[in-house]
Structure 1
Amino acid sequence: MKKILTPLALAIGLAILPAANAADFIAKEADPALEAVAELTEQPYQQQEITEEVYVSAEDQLRDLMKTRGWGQGWDANKKRIFVVHSESFDNEDPTYDDSFIAKRSMFSTLAVMGAKAKVVEFMRTQMTAADQLSAPGTNVYAELNEQFLKIQKKIASSEKALAKLLAEVDAAEAEKLKGVTLEDRTKAFMDALIKRLDTAYSSGDIEEKKRKAYQKAKTRYEEAMAEHEDIVAKAEAIKGSVALEATSAVETLAKAPLMGTSILAQAESWNAEEERYEVAVLTVWSPKLEEGAKAILTGEEQDTKPKKALSVQEWLDTQDAATLVGPRSYVDNKGDRWFIGAYAMPVSGSSSKIRKNKGIADLMAKKEAVMALYSDMETQKQAEIALQTRSGELGGKDHTEVATSFAETTRQAVENRQVNGMSQLMSKTVTHPISNEKIYVIAYGVSGQSAAEALKLSYSTYQSATKANLSNSVKQVVADKLEQSLEASKKADVEASVGTDSGVMPTKAANTVSHKKVATSSNTLLNAPTIDEDDF
């Protein structure tokens, strides 16, 4: 059944690899089986039309995408890769007037990536502790009392019926009135009044002995049943609410591992105006081939690359929807070089100092995302518990069962003192976020095997050049010191010299008086572009 939302403000952006090839994520030995998959993945994704009447969450959008690509969640033993969809959401009245919306959205995108990476680590190895426990009293006294209570109620009802029959024999009018009184209305006071009426009738000498004995028997049974009823009620009241059943189910998991090469294949966002909830979702992929590419960059290993039908990494980034570009990406360019990319976005409105701060945050966060795509120490610990408790209720009634739940999670990804070579800014632009209509600054950093290797060589060269420059400077310093010593020695020599000096006053120019008139500044553009030779760099 479709969910109808009125009003609805919805926008979903899919940062899909337009030239994604399944071979980019599959081990080399699986290449012969790629033809059908490659044909499927090269087909453009046709997103279903989103109207004001139909709401499709960000996570459902990614699941629809996976169906069109023929991708299944979880580990694919044939293709040696794992796909994970993970979403996070937060409550928001309206993104258009929430000043911190973009920061929230970017942060929750990071949380979604962490959740997906945690599932990859949990797939590799998970340490688990779990227990289910049931606890119940050895003898359920309350249940026994309840059973006695039901029997006594039947006995009381039977006695009341017998007394009502006897009343009909002595007072037909009163008996007729009694027919309209239900058992619930027959309180103790009501029955006491009925017995009092019968006592008066049966005390006369007109009633035969046989009927008098029948009445006395029915009256005695009723009084005994009522006394027993009161005793059971008193006992039950004393233990009412006691625990009749208790059950718990608890599980705790711990998973940690160094993770290299996780990448986002697609990202979606959705805004549910009716529920005032914003959702971000990511489709991530990890494979041994991605891990190999990341490891080669970190270790400086040579990578075999060959040209392919693709775009350069900068051209590819230009094709992406920058409004939904947050987190890690992986792309193999036209030279066959694999890039690990990190992107981030922050709002750019307000004062110039605030814009500068937000751009600085976006810059550092994009670098962090790129590095986390290469390598991160992942650790996730989760705890869940469900507790059930059943307590006795009123006599003759039903038990009361309550359930309580608890969930706790700590997930962390981190890098520490990790040397990264070859990371550079690949893209930066200011765009309008389609849901909040807020201007955002989007920046992307990336590193590839080639850029890492070349940067490492440049690093060696820089230090070697600096070492030579420092040695040369040291030699020059020694020579300068020697010359200075020679100069000082020459001053102490017994040499007479006469120096003639002419004194005078330098002419001064008359101060020019300039009249300054305040003029309003108009819009303008400054460009500093000196003539340069590209070969210099």
Structure 2
Amino acid sequence: MKKILTPLAIVISLALSSNVTAEDFIPKADSPALEAVSAMVEEPFVQAEINEETYVSAEQQILDELNKKGWSQGWDANKKRLFVVNTEMFDSEDPTYDDSFITKRSQYAMMATMGAKAKMVEFMRTQMSAVDQLTAPGTDVHAELNAQYIKLNKKVEAQQRTLEKLLAEVNATEAEKLKGVTWQDRRDAYIDALIKKIDESYSAGKLEEKKVKKYQKAKQRYVEAQTEMSEIMKQASAIKGKTKLESSSRVETLAKAPIMGASVLLQAESWNSEEEKYEVSTLMVWSPKLEQAAKAIVTGEAVTLKPKKALTVQDWLKSQEAATLVGPRQYVDKDGDRWFIGAYSMPVEGSSSLIRKNKGIADLMAKKEAAMALYADVETQKQAEIAMQTRSGDLNGKDHTAIATSFAETTRQSIENRQVNGLSPLFTKTVLHPISQQKIYVVAYGVSPSSASEALKMEYSTYQAASAANKSNKVSQAVHQTLETQLEMSKTSPVATNDVEQEIENVSNSTRSSESNSTSSSKVKSNSSSLLNAPTIDEDDF
């Protein structure tokens, strides 16, 4: 099968590796009941080859992975965990020459994870307001006019048949000529022609006396009906387009709550060249165990670690496809320490100042993603409305119905003045993004209970050391001040006779000693040399 670049899709299994198991997301008490799921990923994810025949959207790839592992969206009461899938998309003519593509993709990945958290909050509690409403006029004037119009139309048609029969009796040839000209838009002209021919026959004395009355009656009724119909048409024209029926449906939801420990399990990206749409889809999970791990980091609680067969968090990040890292992740390392990780990427092509700026943005955004994975206040407000309106059309015609829809959303996740201990860079790499072929800088920050604990110890130690240094500095300042005072006092105090005699004797002895040393040193020669300060080095010191 021929390989192609477009339409191109890429799916990323970022958090799932051979070192991640189902037990990482559930309370320990429930672990024995999860033997069927414990082998969640026995082998690293391998991306299937993508071409025109096998193209699958990002969201569908996530759903396929869910089905393959026997998972379902929503709350799993047996295993005490919540799975949420959320997808975002944006228009992209071609990622390879879209200068802002990487930034868009990173932001839409953030929107996908934030939307997933919003669904989790909505699961907990949703405040809802909704209304369905129907409005119709008390009296449908248009319908009444239409009924009159139909009645008069039947009256006109009846007179037409009478006139046709009369003309056929007096002039069959002319009657035959007029047949077939009966369609609606020429009906009046046809009846006028009938009357004209009958009038000619009447003037020529060809119409019998008994049929004259019949003809005059039919002609009068036709004229009356036409006059009434003309008036109805004027009234109908005046109210044409007026509302006959309105209906609307409106719903508004509000949900807000703190979320701790929610993490991305799967993330996928895809670009369809035909539709020119780029899609980012994510699968997020929340469980009591994840929440407890995040809480331990935030509150500084001690966590009992259980070593497991796994990698260090740095080695695990190195084993991932760096080009696909964006957003929150979690990983339990070989020491049983759970890491909450935030990753972000920015383009690194262009001037050196632009690259520096983008690296700084990626660095801060990765920190934000890691912090948001620990704790975030999430609030989402949504409003949807559908309105339908039916207006009157022409008489004896169809009504016109129009539909209008509206959707508004405000979703927000935030942290404010949160103290985060132990957050450190774990991974940085510059790689080529496989879809856009653009060079990107990827950075990941992480925090775990043990890193948070060590950071707290380090903080205490630095403050204690600084306090000791400050105290020593103050003592030193006091000693110096005392010495300065003594120096100033010595300038004005009287000199004792004994001190003068002792100084003369000291100077005399010093002079004799100097002459002796001068004679001796004149015999020493100076040579080129070098100095090396090589103290004993212990790597544990740093």
TM-score normalised to structure 2 length: 0.89
Q: Tell whether the 8 Å contact from 1:45 to 1:68 is kept in structure 2 after alignment.
A: no
Paired residue secondary structure (1:186):
helix
Paired residue secondary structure (1:90):
strand
Q: Tell whether the 8 Å contact from 2:370 to 2:445 is kept in structure 1 after alignment.
A: yes
Q: Tell me the distance in 2 between the aligned counterparts of 1:464 and 1:91.
A: 55
2:155 partner amino acid: K
- The 5 Å alignment of 1:243-258 reads 243-258=243-258
Give the C-alpha shift of residue 147 in structure 1. 2.0
**Equivalent residue for 1:15?**
14
Q: Tell me the distance in 1 between the aligned counterparts of 2:298 and 2:537.
A: 34
| Residues 344 and 284 of structure 1: CA distance in aligned 2, closer, same or farther (over 3 Å) | same
**Equivalent residue for 1:102?**
102
Give the C-alpha shift of residue 139 in structure 1. 1.7
| Residues 249 and 532 of structure 1: CA distance in aligned 2, closer, same or farther (over 3 Å) | farther
Q: Tell me the distance in 2 between the aligned counterparts of 1:532 and 1:401.
A: 86
**Equivalent residue for 1:331?**
331
Residue 536 (structure 1) aligned with residue 531 (structure 2): no
Give the C-alpha shift of residue 10 in structure 1. 3.3
Q: Tell me the distance in 2 between the aligned counterparts of 1:206 and 1:354.
A: 103
Give the C-alpha shift of residue 222 in structure 1. 1.6
Give the C-alpha shift of residue 197 in structure 1. 2.1
| Residues 206 and 439 of structure 1: CA distance in aligned 2, closer, same or farther (over 3 Å) | closer
Give the C-alpha shift of residue 126 in structure 1. 0.7
Give the C-alpha shift of residue 16 in structure 1. 4.1
Residue 196 (structure 1) aligned with residue 196 (structure 2): yes
Q: Tell me the distance in 2 between the aligned counterparts of 1:255 and 1:531.
A: 62
| Residues 45 and 349 of structure 1: CA distance in aligned 2, closer, same or farther (over 3 Å) | closer
- The 5 Å alignment of 1:455-466 reads 455-466=455-466
Q: Tell whether the 8 Å contact from 1:251 to 1:384 is kept in structure 2 after alignment.
A: yes
Indicate the structure with greater helix content. 2
Structure 1 runs of 4+ aligned residues shifted over 6 Å read 495-499
1:11 partner amino acid: I
| Residues 40 and 113 of structure 1: CA distance in aligned 2, closer, same or farther (over 3 Å) | closer
Give the C-alpha shift of residue 215 in structure 1. 1.6
**Equivalent residue for 1:219?**
219
Q: Tell me the distance in 1 between the aligned counterparts of 2:426 and 2:485.
A: 54
Q: Tell whether the 8 Å contact from 1:6 to 1:53 is kept in structure 2 after alignment.
A: no
1:8 partner amino acid: P
Q: Tell whether the 8 Å contact from 2:10 to 2:58 is kept in structure 1 after alignment.
A: no
**Equivalent residue for 1:64?**
64
- Describe the superposition over 1:101-141 as per-residue Cα deviations: whole angstroms up to 9, x where unpaired: 11111111111111000000000011111111111112212
**Number of equivalent positions:** 503
**Equivalent residue for 1:93?**
93
| Residues 16 and 294 of structure 1: CA distance in aligned 2, closer, same or farther (over 3 Å) | closer
Give the C-alpha shift of residue 174 in structure 1. 2.4
Give the C-alpha shift of residue 494 in structure 1. 5.5
Q: Tell me the distance in 2 between the aligned counterparts of 1:399 and 1:22.
A: 59
Q: Tell me the distance in 1 between the aligned counterparts of 2:383 and 2:331.
A: 36
Paired residue secondary structure (1:10):
strand
* Percentage of matched positions with identical amino acids: 65
Q: Tell whether the 8 Å contact from 2:90 to 2:279 is kept in structure 1 after alignment.
A: yes
**Equivalent residue for 2:164?**
164
Residue 441 (structure 1) aligned with residue 446 (structure 2): no
1:321 partner amino acid: E
| Residues 137 and 456 of structure 1: CA distance in aligned 2, closer, same or farther (over 3 Å) | same
- The 5 Å alignment of 1:377-526 reads 377-493=377-493
2:446 partner amino acid: G
Q: Tell whether the 8 Å contact from 1:6 to 1:274 is kept in structure 2 after alignment.
A: no
* Greater Cα offset, 328-337 or 200-209: 200-209
Give the C-alpha shift of residue 217 in structure 1. 2.3
Structure 1 residue ranges without an equivalent (≥5): 500-529
* Greater Cα offset, 236-245 or 434-443: 236-245
Q: Tell me the distance in 2 between the aligned counterparts of 1:36 and 1:206.
A: 103
* Greater Cα offset, 147-156 or 381-390: 147-156
**Equivalent residue for 1:183?**
183
- The 5 Å alignment of 1:335-374 reads 335-374=335-374
Q: Tell whether the 8 Å contact from 1:40 to 1:70 is kept in structure 2 after alignment.
A: no
| Residues 276 and 481 of structure 1: CA distance in aligned 2, closer, same or farther (over 3 Å) | same
Give the C-alpha shift of residue 492 in structure 1. 3.3
| Residues 161 and 54 of structure 1: CA distance in aligned 2, closer, same or farther (over 3 Å) | farther
Q: Tell me the distance in 1 between the aligned counterparts of 2:6 and 2:441.
A: 29
1:153 partner amino acid: N
Paired residue secondary structure (2:85):
strand
Q: Tell whether the 8 Å contact from 1:157 to 1:183 is kept in structure 2 after alignment.
A: no
Q: Tell me the distance in 1 between the aligned counterparts of 2:33 and 2:193.
A: 94
| Residues 46 and 366 of structure 1: CA distance in aligned 2, closer, same or farther (over 3 Å) | closer
- The 5 Å alignment of 1:298-337 reads 298-337=298-337
**Equivalent residue for 1:523?**
none
Q: Tell whether the 8 Å contact from 2:15 to 2:330 is kept in structure 1 after alignment.
A: no
Q: Tell whether the 8 Å contact from 1:45 to 1:65 is kept in structure 2 after alignment.
A: no
Q: Tell whether the 8 Å contact from 1:252 to 1:384 is kept in structure 2 after alignment.
A: yes
- The 5 Å alignment of 1:16-95 reads 16-18=15-17, 19-42=19-42, 45=45, 48-95=48-95
**Equivalent residue for 1:525?**
none
Q: Tell whether the 8 Å contact from 2:12 to 2:47 is kept in structure 1 after alignment.
A: no
* Greater Cα offset, 261-270 or 236-245: 236-245
Paired residue secondary structure (1:34):
helix
**Equivalent residue for 2:522?**
none
Give the C-alpha shift of residue 148 in structure 1. 2.0
Give the C-alpha shift of residue 97 in structure 1. 1.0
